[in-house]
């Protein structure tokens, strides 16, 4: 694991000393948008028009951020429009490794340098690549799922909307706490290098999970009775929680199996058409337990827990008004 400095790959773990043991996630640097007509999106340059076969998505099946983009590719029926390369489970001294179908690269950092020879920083998945201009469109999952939500609608005729205009305010508000305390919260717990940083992240995380459990006891989804991007952004952390974050990242106050509402909710989302195929638990566990050698030096991967997301979810009895149907 490392980063690019002065055009070179440097193998180094996350720097936490300057921040009192707190893990800080680097902001994504490629922030262009694919749009229906190629006009610029909310950030970045113009020229990325939605076209069949033009874009390529690089993901890790382990990564919760990349997982969001795979889910949206499925929900929005983009499989035949955007092809995917899955990087290897193990992220070692050269960072993400892959069999690259476009340039025959062995390492993902080579793709970053091809896009921008002056790029400095961490090399993360997901990456949305434009084959036409041979550049990275975006390496920010939050943006990529919003592009997928609408940019290709005219081509696919899939009108599913996970970020409806009327709900922007509510969705953004919920996203903010979930990102900080849960999505990134598990990493802040697991990558903390001081007791204090760990404990802060741990308490923030479980307070937020209690808050989610309470919301889900009153309504079916995070924003009432409509599934939105907020649910999918949360789902990719929840599905990894008991298998990885509980043990490996020391998020062990309780398991999610101890939260009845959250448990049913995970199962419901998992059982939505196409989603199960985006979850590879072996790949997920192998990646985390084998790649983070500073927190699991032996690389031994635990066998359990036994999880069955196909059990009945019983969420269809929940209504937005908090009553039972
Ligand atoms: N903001 C990015 C974060 C992506 C991210 O941090 N991905 C992790 C994998 S879960 C990664 O590639 N990490 C490699 C590294 O930090 O060196 C997004 O949401 O797209």
In 3D, which of 54, 78, 59, 80 has the Cα closest to residue 133? 54
Contacts (Cβ under 8 Å, ≥6 apart) of 151: 33, 34, 35, 36, 50
**The pLDDT of residue 325 is above 80:** no
Contact 146, 171 (CB under 8 A): no
Question: Residue 154 has what pLDDT?
Answer: 98
Give bridge partners of residue 59 from the DSSP assignment: 86
Q: Which atom of ligand 1 is nearest to the CA of 63?
A: 10
High-pLDDT (> 90) share of the chain, %: 91
**The pLDDT of residue 324 is above 60:** no
Ramachandran region, residue 160 (left: φ > 0; alpha: ψ -120 to 50; beta: rest) = beta
In 3D, which of 62, 324, 104 has the Cα closest to residue 218? 324
**Ligand 1: centre distance to CA 79 (Å):** 23
What pLDDT digit, counting tens, does each position of 68-89 carry? 999 999 999 999 999 999 999 9
Say if ligand 1 is within 6 A of residue 63 CB.
yes
The model's pTM is: 0.96
Alpha-carbon gap, residue 209 to 178, rounded angstroms: 9
What pLDDT digit, counting tens, does each position of 94-107 carry? 999 999 999 999 99
- Positive or negative CA dihedral for 222, 225, 230, 232? positive
What pLDDT digit, counting tens, does each position of 100-145 carry? 999 999 999 999 999 999 999 999 999 999 999 999 999 999 999 9
Phi/psi of residue 91, each to 5°? -110, 105
Burial class (CB within 10 angstroms; exposed 0-12, middle 13-18, buried 19+) of 140 = buried
Residue-range domains of the chain with CATH: 2-156 (3.40.30.10), 167-274+305-317 (1.20.1050.10)
Residue nearest to atom 5 of ligand 1 (CA): 124
CA 182 from chain center: how many Å?
12
The catalytic residue positions are: 63, 187
**The pLDDT of residue 297 is above 60:** yes
In the predicted model, what is the mean pLDDT of the chain?
A: 95
Residue nearest to atom 9 of ligand 1 (CA): 63
Tell me the average pLDDT across 54-79. 98
């Amino acid at each position: 694991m490392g980063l690019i400095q002065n055009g070179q790959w440097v193998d180094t773990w996350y720097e936490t000393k300057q921040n009192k043991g707190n893990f800080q996630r680097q902001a994504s640097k490629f922030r262009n948008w694919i749009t229906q007509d190629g006009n610029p999106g909310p950030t970045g340059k113009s020229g990325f028009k939605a076209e069949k076969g033009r874009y390529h998505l690089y993901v890790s099946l382990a990564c919760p951020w990349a997982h969001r983009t795979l889910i949206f590719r499925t929900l929005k029926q983009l499989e035949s429009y955007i092809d995917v390369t899955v990087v290897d489970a193990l992220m070692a001294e050269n960072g993400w490794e892959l069999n690259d179908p476009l340039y025959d690269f062995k390492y993902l950092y080579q793709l970053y340098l091809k896009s921008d020879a002056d790029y400095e920083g961490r090399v993360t998945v997901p990456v949305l690549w434009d084959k036409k201009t041979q550049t990275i469109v975006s390496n920010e999952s939050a943006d990529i799922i919003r592009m997928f939500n609408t940019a290709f609608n005219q081509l696919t005729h899939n009108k599913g909307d996970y970020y409806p205009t009327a709900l922007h305010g509510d969705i953004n508000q919920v996203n903010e706490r979930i990102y900080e305390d849960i999505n990134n919260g598990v990493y802040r717990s697991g990558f903390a290098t001081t007791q204090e940083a760990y404990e802060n992240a741990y308490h923030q995380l479980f307070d937020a999970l209690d808050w989610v459990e309470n919301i889900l006891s009153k309504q079916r989804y995070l924003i009432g009775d409509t599934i939105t991007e907020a649910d999918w952004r949360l789902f990719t952390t929840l599905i990894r929680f008991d298998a990885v974050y509980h043990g490996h990242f020391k998020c062990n106050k309780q398991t999610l199996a101890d939260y009845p509402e959250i448990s049913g909710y995970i199962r419901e989302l998992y059982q939505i058409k196409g989603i199960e195929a985006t979850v590879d638990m072996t790949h997920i566990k192998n990646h985390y337990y084998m790649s983070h050698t500073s927190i699991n030096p032996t690389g031994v991967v635990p066998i359990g827990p036994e999880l069955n997301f196909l059990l009945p979810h019983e969420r269809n009895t929940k209504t937005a008004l908090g009553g039972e149907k």
